C-alpha cells in the first residue's frame, strides 16, 4: 500500500552540470562526462533507497532536459541550428531544435543509464520519457506541417525505445505530458491516442505524468493567472480513464486542483503529488499524511501512490534530499493512520 516514488528528475550535482537550471550546461565532455553521469545516477539511487522510497529512478542525470535528452538520438532533427520558440502556449521561450526531415531513431537513447540503474538496485525501477504531445510542443517543425502526423511519428520512436527499456528490466515506463494541461482539447482528441501508440505492446506498468510544470518563475507566474480552481485535468482525465495507460501522476499539494477531479480516474492507479516542487520549504510528515488522507476521499487506497508534484531538477540538492525523506516519512505516517480503515 502507498508505494512511493518521485515524478522523475532530481538536481544534478555541481560537478556534473550547472545547478538550479532547467537547461544546464555539462561540466565536462566525452568519457569524463559519461563517468560523471554514471556517478550521479548511482548517488541518487542510493539517496532514494536511503530515504526509503519504494520505487526508484535514475533522476534523469544523463539528460540535459527531459525533452531534448530524447531528441538528441533522432535522425531528422537539426540540433546545430536551434531557434527561439514560445512553448506551452507561449508561456515561456526556449531554444528548440528543428525537425528537418523524416524521423528515425539513430539507435538506443537511454540504454546506458537504464542498464546501470537496473544493475544497482533491487527496488522497482521507474524510467521517464517525454510524451509525444509535449515533444511536439518543444521542437520547431520544418518538415511535417501537420501536428498530428508529427506526433504519431514521435510516438512510434518513443515506442521503440520504451520496448527496449522494458527489455532492460525497467518496471514502470512513464511518459511526461505537461502539454496535456495546456492544450486540453487536443490532448483529449489525439494526445491520449498518441500516448497509447507510444506505450503499444508494453507489458510493464505504464504511466503518464501531467503537471503544472517545474517550480520556475514562468510557471509560478502562469499558475497565478489560473484562478482559484484549476480544472484543466477535467478534460483529459476521462480520456485517460478509457485508455490503456495504467497510472496517472498529478499535482495535488499546494495546487488549486479540486481534489474530487481524481474521481475521474476510476480504475487507474493515481500517483498523488504530496511534495511541492515550487517551494523550498520541506513538507512535514503530517502535511504529507494529510494530503494522502485528502486523496483517499477520491482514490481507493490500493490505487494511491504518493509522489512529488513534478520533477525536482532545478532545486538545491540538499532541499531535494530532504523532500525525498519527507515523502517517505509522511507516507509511513499515513500508513499508520489509514491502514486499518
Ligand atoms: Zn512535471
**Could you tell me the distance, in angstroms and rounded to a whole number, from the CA of residue 31 to the centre of ligand 1?**
30
**Could you tell me the distance, in angstroms and rounded to a whole number, from the CA of residue 250 to the centre of ligand 1?**
8
**Could you tell me the distance, in angstroms and rounded to a whole number, from the CA of residue 179 to the centre of ligand 1?**
10
**Could you tell me the distance, in angstroms and rounded to a whole number, from the CA of residue 308 to the centre of ligand 1?**
9
**Could you tell me the distance, in angstroms and rounded to a whole number, from the CA of residue 212 to the centre of ligand 1?**
6
Query: Across the strands, what pairs with 271?
Result: 249, 305
**Could you tell me the distance, in angstroms and rounded to a whole number, from the CA of residue 209 to the centre of ligand 1?**
6
| CATH dotted code for 30-71+110-338 | 3.20.20.210
Distance CA 61, CA 48 (A): 14
**Could you tell me the distance, in angstroms and rounded to a whole number, from the CA of residue 67 to the centre of ligand 1?**
12
Tell me the domain boundaries of the chain. Answer: 30-71+110-338
pLDDT tens for the chain, 341 residues long, are 999 999 999 999 999 999 988 889 999 999 999 999 999 999 999 999 999 999 999 999 999 988 888 998 999 999 999 999 999 888 889 999 999 999 999 999 999 999 999 999 999 999 999 999 999 999 999 999 999 999 999 999 999 999 999 999 999 999 999 999 999 999 999 999 999 999 999 999 999 999 998 878 888 888 889 889 999 999 999 999 999 999 999 999 999 999 999 999 999 999 999 999 999 999 999 999 999 999 999 999 999 999 999 999 989 999 999 999 999 999 999 999 998 76
Where residue 295 falls (left for φ over 0; alpha for ψ -120 to 50; beta otherwise) is: alpha
Q: What is the DSSP letter of 191?
A: I
Question: Is this structure's pTM higher than 0.85?
Answer: yes
Q: Is there a contact between 285 and 332 (Cβ–Cβ < 8 Å)? A: yes
pLDDT value, residue 341: 64
**Could you tell me the distance, in angstroms and rounded to a whole number, from the CA of residue 162 to the centre of ligand 1?**
19
Q: Break the chain down into helix, strand, coil percent, rounded to 5.
A: 40, 20, 40
**Could you tell me the distance, in angstroms and rounded to a whole number, from the CA of residue 185 to the centre of ligand 1?**
19
**Could you tell me the distance, in angstroms and rounded to a whole number, from the CA of residue 220 to the centre of ligand 1?**
13
**Could you tell me the distance, in angstroms and rounded to a whole number, from the CA of residue 66 to the centre of ligand 1?**
10
**Could you tell me the distance, in angstroms and rounded to a whole number, from the CA of residue 251 to the centre of ligand 1?**
8
Where residue 52 falls (left for φ over 0; alpha for ψ -120 to 50; beta otherwise) is: left
Distance CA 339, CA 341 (A): 6
**Could you tell me the distance, in angstroms and rounded to a whole number, from the CA of residue 320 to the centre of ligand 1?**
15
φ, ψ for residue 250 (rounded to 5)? -135, 165
Where residue 169 falls (left for φ over 0; alpha for ψ -120 to 50; beta otherwise) is: left
Query: Across the strands, what pairs with 98?
Result: 78, 140
Distance CA 49, CA 261 (A): 32
Distance CA 16, CA 8 (A): 18
pLDDT value, residue 267: 97
Query: Across the strands, what pairs with 172?
Result: 126, 205
C-alpha cell of residue 132 = 509525444
Distance CA 278, CA 296 (A): 24
139 three-class SS:
coil
**Could you tell me the distance, in angstroms and rounded to a whole number, from the CA of residue 213 to the centre of ligand 1?**
5
**Could you tell me the distance, in angstroms and rounded to a whole number, from the CA of residue 271 to the centre of ligand 1?**
12
**Could you tell me the distance, in angstroms and rounded to a whole number, from the CA of residue 341 to the centre of ligand 1?**
32
**Could you tell me the distance, in angstroms and rounded to a whole number, from the CA of residue 210 to the centre of ligand 1?**
6
**Could you tell me the distance, in angstroms and rounded to a whole number, from the CA of residue 182 to the centre of ligand 1?**
13
pLDDT value, residue 234: 96
Amino acid at each position: 500500500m502507498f508505494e512511493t516514488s518521485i515524478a522523475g528528475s532530481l538536481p544534478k550535482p555541481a560537478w556534473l552540470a550547472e545547478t538550479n537550471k532547467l537547461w544546464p550546461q555539462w561540466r565536462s565532455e566525452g568519457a569524463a562526462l559519461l563517468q560523471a553521469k554514471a556517478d550521479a545516477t548511482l548517488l541518487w539511487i542510493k539517496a532514494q533507497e536511503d530515504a526509503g522510497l519504494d520505487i526508484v529512478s535514475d533522476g534523469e542525470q544523463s539528460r540535459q532536459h527531459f525533452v531534448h535528452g530524447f531528441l538528441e538520438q533522432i535522425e531528422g532533427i537539426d540540433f546545430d541550428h536551434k531557434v527561439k520558440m514560445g512553448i506551452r502556449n507561449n508561456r515561456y521561450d526556449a531554444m528548440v531544435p528543428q525537425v528537418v526531415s523524416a524521423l528515425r531513431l539513430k539507435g538506443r537513447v537511454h540504454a546506458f543509464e537504464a542498464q546501470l540503474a537496473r544493475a544497482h538496485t533491487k527496488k522497482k525501477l521507474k524510467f521517464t520519457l517525454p510524451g509525444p504531445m509535449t515533444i511536439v510542443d518543444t521542437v520547431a517543425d520544418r518538415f511535417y506541417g501537420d501536428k498530428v502526423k508529427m506526433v504519431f511519428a514521435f510516438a512510434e520512436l518513443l515506442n521503440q525505445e520504451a520496448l527496449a527499456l522494458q527489455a532492460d528490466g525497467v518496471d514502470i515506463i512513464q511518459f511526461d505530458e505537461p502539454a496535456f494541461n495546456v492544450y486540453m482539447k487536443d490532448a483529449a482528441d489525439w494526445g491520449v491516442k498518441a500516448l497509447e501508440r507510444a506505450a503499444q505492446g508494453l507489458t510493464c506498468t505504464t504511466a503518464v505524468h501531467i503537471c503544472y510544470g517545474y517550480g520556475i518563475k514562468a510557471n509560478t507566474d502562469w499558475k497565478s493567472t489560473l484562478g482559484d480552481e484549476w480544472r484543466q485535468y477535467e478534460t483529459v482525465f476521462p480520456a485517460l480513464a478509457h485508455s490503456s495507460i495504467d497510472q496517472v501522476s498529478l499535482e495535488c499539494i499546494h495546487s488549486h486542483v479540486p481534489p474530487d477531479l481524481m474521481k475521474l480516474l476510476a480504475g487507474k492507479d493515481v500517483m498523488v503529488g504530496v511534495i511541492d516542487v515550487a517551494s523550498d520549504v520541506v513538507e512535514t510528515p503530517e502535511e504529507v499524511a494529510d494530503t494522502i488522507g485528502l486523496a483517499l476521499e477520491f482514490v481507493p487506497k490500493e490505487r494511491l501512490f504518493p509522489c512529488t508534484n513534478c520533477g525536482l531538477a532545478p532545486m538545491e540538492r540538499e532541499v531535494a534530499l530532504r523532500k525525498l525523506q519527507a515523502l517517505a516519512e509522511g507516507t509511513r505516517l499515513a500508513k499508520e493512520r489509514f491502514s486499518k480503515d
